[in-house]
Structure 1
């Protein structure tokens, strides 16, 4: 007699038995377990051998669905095909069709990095290929859980890369959101990871700087007396005079310099804006002196290993260290910005002029679009005054070694 839903719901396994069976038809029966579970099973005979196949639990797999599956299996048995093998192959095929993390992540990377500078895009690719894909690239989105993401983040944290840690978490979240929007994932496990609870508060990057007139004067005298590369000495001088970000100065190109207008115009990738640096007479003189060295090339500050590449990102800090300055606790190449901000403010210059010259990101996108030439006349005066001030500080005493505080 065929089973009914009412009969299945009312039937229970006696406590003195491990299980009982109730048969439906065509080899389909249900095993009622002492634990209370109700399991669909299928008995069939192939090549003279009786075999059993578990279909699933009731009521997750309904009576109607179980009968449909058995009907399909009986047709396969009639053709001499083992339903268990056929189902395994189908599952493998379905799994093969499920999207895995790496190709979807690369699709996202390709899309979002179109407007990025090459350096940022390459950094993202390297991080993914080194820190993520070897561990997660072949996993399907169904398989990936929050602990899998956390394991990768812990490896990065253990290596001491806190900046990379925070960025990778953000990238994970964006990749999963991208996959969800394209129907390739159903949830975002990165959102289950609360970074502050697991890794603590973000430590702000410490960029030490000399911020007194006395220390600034000593620093300028030490740069003037630097006995290393002429190119490096001039780079440090221009860092002090123009207080741009070190990477921007290293990658300065001759085509960006307008000697007639006394301006350096370039694109700031960090804030995605065009920026103008008014050039003081002192800065122009330094650049004129560099023309015989590199004006026939692309970069003003050419690399030591290749004239077709810019100066290394460690060159200026290495020079400061060679002068006896601790770049981790006293002053680093990025510290020229804090030095200028502090001393220009003390001299009474408008903070709006200073911040615009530092090219910090504007809160208002509309304002940002017109920020390039904002306060330009005032900034021209300020930059010349700053250059004259540095000369005065430098000439205040003979070259002396900087003494670290106890």
Structure 2
């Protein structure tokens, strides 16, 4: 690998050394892979002599070799263009190139396509999955992680990295910095997840198992990060017969759909629960503690709703508008008791 003073390689890996001081984990690994791929094409070329036509040629080739199962392009070429652009900016700031050829290429690439990850969005089908999860035997880490994914619908990576230091069982709060929130404008950098009673009970069980460790889902068999593998949840779902039907990330789509369609909660509360940035009509972003009472109520109703689904009970009472209907019914009954049914019917008829 050539790292002469003016080569793309030189600036690429000098730039990457800076990233290593501020980033870590899978994000850094992915960026390193993209840099290695870009460098395999233009690493030995003088950075000041790489123009837009050359970058377009490189990125179109990467795009052609990065197709999904449906034969459509993924976002690999776009992401490679992004990190190449960062390298050109880094070199340009130091006076070694006068343009950023990668910045012009993104609009010339085909729109990436991954498709939706599999998720169950029908209540009866989700009830079957919830019951199936309870049949899992073996490592309690596994079943408790799946239970919490259903209850809290956070990303699997964030749940696996849950630390006891970030959890307040007494108040039912979990404060975290979502992995995907670091550097993405549509994801919150700090998030507070209200914990329903059912989640607190599960965490008390985990405390008896892993309370002496840093992580809620500590695993003695995990060599690298000392937490359960990112494939643990998906493997168990596959074992239960849900391959290509529902995945660990699918709990988020399930919750988003059922909270809005079945429980009738407003989009703003659901989006905040998902860790997405949410703004009011004036463009002001909501803070992590905004609507915390409403969100706590929603998370408890969601947990109670899941219990009812699993047990095959009626779920009507968990709709967000159920209390308004109950109040209206009570008011009507009181009016009938006071005036009589005939008088009330006459009043309603005249109103029409």
Whether these two folds match at TM > 0.5 is yes
Q: Is the 8 A contact 2:50 2:101 kept in 1?
A: yes
- Aligned match for 1:163, one of 32, 52, 75: 75
Per-residue deviation, 1:353: 1.3
**Deviates further, 222-231 or 387-396:** 222-231
The aligned counterpart of 1:378 is 294
TM superposition score normalised by structure 2? 0.75
The question of whether the paired residues in 2 share the 8 Å contact of 1:264 and 1:276 is answered with yes
Aligned to 2:277: 361
CA apart distance, 1:338: 1.2
Between the aligned partners of 1:164 and 1:309, the Cα distance in structure 2 is 29
Q: In structure 2, what is the equivalent of residue 237 of structure 1?
A: 147
Q: Map Cα deviations across residues 144-188 of structure 1 (whole Å, 9 max, x no partner).
A: 344553454324641447232210011112322332232101333
SS in structure 1 of the partner of residue 254 of structure 2: helix
Q: Deviations over 1:112-153 (max 9, x none)?
A: 565445432232123323x13344323212443445534543
SS at match of 2:170: coil
Match of 2:94 among 182, 185, 188: 182
The answer (yes or no) to whether the contact 1:99–1:141 under 8 Å persists in 2 is yes
Q: 2:49, 2:292 → 1: CA distance?
A: 56
One of 381, 392, 395 as aligned partner of 2:308 = 392
Q: Does 1:225 align with 2:135?
A: yes
Higher RCO by CA contacts (8 Å cutoff, separation 6 or greater): 2
Residue deviations 1:175-217 (CA, integer Å, cap 9, x gap):
2233223210133332453x565x5222144212111111111
- Could you say what secondary structure the match of 1:356 adopts? helix
Q: Tell me the distance in 1 between the aligned counterparts of 2:104 and 2:301.
A: 53
For 1:287, the equivalent position in structure 2 comes to: 203
Provide the C-alpha distance between the structure 1 equivalents of 2:44 and 2:164, rounded to a whole number of angstroms. 46
Q: How does 1:187-266 map to 2 (within 5 A)?
A: 187-191=99-103, 193=105, 195=106, 197=108, 199-266=109-176
8 Å Cα contact 1:277-1:357 kept in structure 2: yes
Q: 1:325 aligns with which of 237, 242, 247?
A: 242
Return 5+ residue gaps in structure 2 as ranges: 69-73, 183-188, 314-352
Q: Is the 8 A contact 2:75 2:113 kept in 1?
A: no
Larger CA Rg, structure 1 vs 2: 1
> Judging changes above 3 Å, is the alpha-carbon distance between structure 1 residues 140 and 281 closer, same or farther for their aligned structure 2 residues?
same
> Cα deviations across residues 20-55 of structure 1 (Å, max 9, x unaligned)?
xxxxxxxxxxxxxxxxxxxxxxxxxxxxxxxxxxxx
| Residue of structure 2 equivalent to 1:339 | 254
Q: Distance in 2 between matches of 1:333 and 1:200?
A: 29
**Higher strand proportion:** 1
TM-score of the two chains, using structure 1 as the length reference: 0.66
Q: CA RMSD in A?
A: 2.7
The answer to whether 1:305 aligns with 2:222 is yes
- Tell me, in whole angstroms, the C-alpha distance in 1 between the residues paired with 2:51 and 2:96: 15
> How many pairs were matched up?
296
Contact 2:172–2:196 (Cα < 8 Å) also in 1: yes
* Distance in 1 of aligned mates of 2:269 and 2:14: 42
Q: 1:374 and 1:363 mapped to 2: Cα distance?
A: 11
Contact between 2:123 and 2:258, CA under 8 Å: does it hold in 1? yes
Separation in structure 2 between the aligned mates of residue 114 and residue 98 of structure 1, nearest angstrom: 22
**CA pair 266-98 structure 1, distance change in 2 beyond 3 A:** closer
Q: 1:138 aligned to 2:44? A: yes
d(CA) in 2 for partners of 1:228 and 1:97?
A: 55
8 Å contact kept, 2:8–2:45: yes
The offset of 1:248, in angstroms, is 0.6
Deviation for aligned residue 1:271 = 2.1
* 1:126 aligned residue: 33
Q: Structure 1: state its 5+ residue gaps.
A: 1-95, 398-406
1:316 aligns with 233
| Greater fraction helix | 2
What residue number does 1:27 align with? none
Judge which range, 263-272 or 173-182, deviates more. 173-182
In 1, Cα distance between equivalents of 2:311 and 2:39: 56
Distance in 1 (CA, whole Å) between partners of 2:222 and 2:113 is 35
Change (3 A) 1:277 1:147: same
